[in-house]
Amino acid sequence: MSDPTTTPQTTPPEAPSALADGEAPAPDLSEVAFTDIITELLRRLGEDPDREGLRRTPARMEEALRFLTRGYRMDPEATIGDALFQERHHNMVIVKDIEMYSLCEHHMLPFIGKVHLAYIPNGHILGLSKVARLVEVFARRLQVQERMTEEIAQSFWDVVQPQGVGVVVEAHHLCMMMRGVEKQNSSTITSAVRGSFLEDARTREEFLRLCTSEHRPLR
Ligand SMILES: [Zn+2]
């Protein structure tokens, strides 16, 4: 169903191999255990990796990092493809406030926030919980918010094949907040649209208004 040219990569990008003149090649650490690398990291930060509180930190950190990057090992079609239901509904479907936790690829620090996704079905609707699963596929990687927003929209477009889809992401970036680069309460908003959301200004405006509205409907 999905176009192979737009299928998101499921493995981390390869590091560029070209070295600048006079630059020594990086030592080959491929045989070194993950936990040993983290132990050395702790040492370089000025810590004593043998002290009580840190003794299991390398193992915990490895486990945490593997969990936080598990999106590389998930496939969008396998994740949501079996939850498509035939439906002749042609009105906009909105899934709001999906929790999102990702890591910025520049600092490997968290950026966290909410994803809102809306679409106009074209014969198929997707089980609601699967929208959250699709967000996981792309959030659980090293990311930049703009690319993640595009990837969620594109893979929904490829797999669900709706008349149109729009995605809005509102996030706080800890690399900005903790390093004092940004005011604590500012958030970054990104959006991506496909199909009728791109072509029809009224559809797009309705979507943006519903997604960014401060007035949450009563439960
Ligand atoms: Zn960052």
pTM of the complete model: 0.84
Domain ranges of the chain: 34-68, 70-212
Mean pLDDT for 168-172 is 96
* Set 105, 172, 182, 206: catalytic member: 105
* Set 104, 116, 136, 170: catalytic member: 104
Q: Where are the beta strands (DSSP E) in 105-195?
A: 110-120, 124-126, 142-143, 164-173, 188-195
Considering the domain delimited by 70-212, tell me its CATH architecture.
Answer: 2-Layer Sandwich (3.30)
Share of the chain above pLDDT 90, in %: 63
User: Predicted confidence band at 34 (pLDDT cuts at 50, 70, 90)?
Assistant: very high
For residue 112, the CA-to-ligand 1 centroid distance in Å is 12
Query: Which residues face 93 on adjacent strands?
Result: 119
What is the C-alpha separation between 209 and 23, in angstroms, rounded?
52
Per-residue pLDDT, 214: 60
pLDDT tens track for 180-213: 776 667 889 999 999 999 999 999 898 888 887 6
Find, among 141, 104, 130, 167, the residue nearest to 8 by Cα.
141
Per-residue pLDDT, 108: 96
> What tokens were used for 121?
């079905």
Asked whether the beta carbons of 152 and 117 are under 8 A apart, the reply is yes
